Amino acid sequence: MNRKSTPSNAVLRIEYFDGYSPIRTDGMETGLSEDKSLPDLIPWLQIVQAKVLSFQDVELMISTKIPPVSTFQLHLKLDEQMVAKDTVSAINAIVLAHKLSV
């Protein structure tokens, strides 16, 4: 920071979600998925991209590491207090950060 610059009055905050979130440290939980054959957790490095389907529905593009390598879509229904567009932004940011760290 430049010593001559004036200090900013901006305040950084973290807002916490009061409810159920499938976002975990190691990956994305699939517990709320319609497909019960999936593992309980999809690691971040297997998630290619997330997109909004509706206000509370998210679609994840998942990459499989098992030959033949392929991708499939996973639909998640979010807790009614979560907003899909904010969740998708968070997921895509985490996925990008993990890919850049490898």
- pLDDT, tens digit, 9 for 90 and up, residues 6-65: 555 555 555 667 778 888 989 998 875 666 777 889 999 999 999 999 998 999 999 987
pLDDT at 80: 84
* pLDDT at res. 11: 59
CB 23: neighbour CB atoms within 10 A?
14
pLDDT tens-digit readout, 46-55: 999 999 999 9
Q: Are 53 and 36 a contacting pair, CB within 8 Å?
A: no
pLDDT value for 58: 93
From residue 43, give the alpha-carbon distance in Å to each of 1, 62, 64.
37, 10, 11
